[in-house]
Amino acid sequence: MSESQSRLDLFIDRMVSQRTCLDFAIAQTTGMPGPVFELGLGNGRTYHHMAQRIQDRPVYVFERAVASHPDSTPPEDRVILGDVRETLPASVDRFGASASLIHADLGGHNREKNDAFARFVSPLIEPLLVPGGLMVSSDRMYFDALTELPLPEGAVEGRCFIYRR
């Protein structure tokens, strides 16, 4: 990161990297039968992107309260409502280790809080992935058994992370 990068530069790098890594991970997991999990819906832009490009697998969204753009609101039966501290453990019972792709952009503006949350939530995410499944995150995660992959061309180092089980 150059010292002359503005917050706008960093934000654009993050959004472009997120899209590049997601498109790579969607292509890599095509043909795998397991569901896709989007952790956090927010405005719904990224969900819209994933739902448009993933036709072969269901995309479930984990969210506390749906407040997305009307164009990007998932069907009710694809929303898993609640705090991820509870809904992720419950999903291990429901889905087992079956997810082909998990994406998370949970982070807010506070870097320390993001990192603490990433440490907390990593062991809750890890058991949901099927062997060979991918996890894409805007924050560095803390997994025991997953392997960090090199980023695809066009993604910016440190702005996105990809892990494989």
Interface ranges with its own copies (CB under 8 A): 4, 6-9, 11-12, 15-16, 18-19, 44-46, 48-49, 52-53, 69, 71-72, 109
Q: Give the shortest CB-71-to-its own copies separation in angstroms.
A: 6
Cβ distance to its own copies smaller for residue 49 or 165: 49
Give me the least distance between CB of 83 and its own copies, in Å please. Answer: 25
Is 21 within 8 Å of 162 (Cβ atoms)? yes
Nearest-angstrom CA–CA distance, 121 and 31: 27
- Identity of the residue numbered 39: L
Q: Integer distance in angstroms from the first to the last C-alpha of the chain? A: 29
Tokens read off for 30 = 């095509």
Q: Which is nearer to its own copies, 12 or 106 (CB)?
A: 12
Q: What is the closest distance, in whole angstroms, from the C-beta atom of residue 160 to its own copies in the complex?
A: 13
Contact 82, 61 (CB under 8 A): no
* Residue 52 Cβ vs its own copies, minimum distance, rounded to whole Å: 5
